[in-house]
Structure formats: C-alpha cells, structure tokens
Amino acid sequence: MPQQRNPRLARSFYFLDWVAHGNGSYWCGMLSSEQRGVGMGRSINLEGKVALITGASSGLGQRFAQVLSQAGAKVVLASRRVERLKELRAEIEAAGGAAHVVSLDVTDYQSIRAAVAHAETEAGTIDILVNNSGVSTMQKLVDVSPADFEYVFDTNTRGAFFVAQEVAKRMMMRAGSGNAKPACRIINIASVAGLRPFAQIGLYAMSKAAVVHMTRAMALEWGRHGINVNAICPGYIDTEINHYLWETEQGQKLQSMLPRRRVGKPQDLDGLLLLLAADESQFINGSIVSADDGLGLA
C-alpha cells in the first residue's frame, strides 16, 4: 500500500530556490510550495526535530510555534501563561502537530533549568531554541527607575542568556558523548531597535543591543560544538499586544514614515525563521538578520 503523504507537511514545505543571473551571481529566495511550482529547489522539512519556543503564549512566539510545527518539528511551548499555552497546544494538535507545554519564567534561573529539563523529558533532546521572550516600556531614559531597568533587562537580556546557556550545555553534552544530533540551532529574537535607537524605547533598545552582541559571542564560542547561533531583528510587527497602536493617530504617523507605509505581520518572518532553523543553514552562524521592511533605512 503506498505511503500516505502527511497533508500538514504538504501545506508547509518551503523551498530554497537558486536563480542564476547573467553576471554570474546567484540569488537565494524562500518560496512556499504553492508559490514555487515546478523548478529546482530543496524543501525545508523539520521532521524529527524538537523546538523549544519561549514566550510562546502570544504574538510572535505563538506564530513561531505554529510555523515550526507545520514544518514537521515537535514543539515545546514555554511561557508563564500556561493556560494560553494549552490553548495553542490544542490548536497545533488539531492541525496534526505535536506540542508540549512547560511553565517558564525567564527571570528565574531555577525556573529556566527546570523548564529545559522538563522540555527534554516530555519531547526529547532540543535541536532548535527560539529565544523569544521579551518585554518593553515606553519612557524617556531620564525617567527610568531601577525597577524599570531590572524588569526589561531581566527578561530581554539576562533571561535570554541563561535560557540559551542551559540549552547549549545540553547540546554540548550530546556532542561530547558522540550522540549529538546534526544541526543544533539557537535563534535569538532581538529587534531593529537593537541596531539603532528609537525615541521613548531607549531602555528596550539597550537590552536588545546586548542580545545582538550576545548572539555573536555565543556563535563564536559554540559554533565548534555544532551549534549555530543567529539573531532575527524584526521591525514593527502588528501583534495582539500592540495592535491598538496602529489604529491611533501616532501609529498612523509611524506607518507613514516607513519605506512601504506598512507594518509587518507575524507571517512576514516565516521564511527567515525556517531557514535559520533548518539543516540548510549550516554555514550561517553569528548572523544578525534584519527583517524590518526597510525600517532601518528610514
């Protein structure tokens, strides 16, 4: 009896297409299976991979979990809001995916260690970490209090570091035992604000600038252990947390200043996320990739 193709994967394949130009250069682009049609390419298939996504209860984290699951990965959803994670798990399972829920407070070191251990007990050894937890405040730097500083840096920088460290330790143990799975990936979610400052979010920008440099330092030290560490720097993305802003006069003014007069959607990061998570990105390490639709040029 012929093997039945998994319809979930059939919908979710993405392809790397290489197009030769007359000047001898090549272009590599991400195309979905629907866009690609007939041609040369490689499918991104994450079957057999385990992905841990922090901050998965809403916004980008929720989208990242859905996309990785659609590509075949078993996903572990981590956040403080466990009830929201359970709802997401149900959605993923209804679509034919495999998902697990772990409670995680990235500001608590013991919670990080317990969550990573729980994740591997439930789902198996972690191949992909999407380090996505983040918070922000809007205020002038002269108004930042010690409590504000700790709130932002404990989550965005300290938390991101110790989550990555705990996962990397386990990846290295597998490498040392000779049982390492190929292509370990850590994807830190930074921000275009980590590359250039913006008014009123200077504290957030500082914390994400630290994540950018942290990514490079991790890539330098951990690459020899088979761990690729890269960062995505999103621009303005419309999520449930900030959706109200884009309806206001201030939000409309911000959009008018952007090169294409639009705010991104979470799905605009799908292709980049899949590329950095895939085996095909083995030669990409220490890269800081802006996904901002040209915001950094405005």
2: exposed, middle or buried (Cβ count in 10 Å: 0-12, 13-18, 19+)? exposed
Residues whose CB falls within 8 Å of the CB of residue 56, separated by 6 or more in sequence, listed in order: 62, 64, 65, 75, 77, 78, 79, 85, 88, 132
Buried b (16+ CB within 10 A) or exposed e, 253-262: ebeeebeeee
Query: Could you tell me the CA-to-CA distances from 129 to 3, 113, 126, 136 in Å, in that order?
Result: 31, 14, 7, 22
Which of 14, 151, 204, 236 is labelled catalytic?
204
Residue with token string 């990105």: 281
C-beta separation of 160 from 214 below 8 A? yes
Q: How far apart are CA 271 and CA 30, in angstroms?
A: 6
Widest CA span in the chain: 70
Whether 222 and 165 have beta carbons less than 8 Å apart is answered as: no
The CA angle 46-241-49, to the nearest 5 degrees, is: 10
Q: How do 14-20 and 26-32 pair as beta strands?
A: antiparallel
For residue 145, the Cα-to-chain-centroid distance in whole angstroms is: 29
Asked about 109 being catalytic, the answer comes back as no
Residues catalogued as catalytic: 204
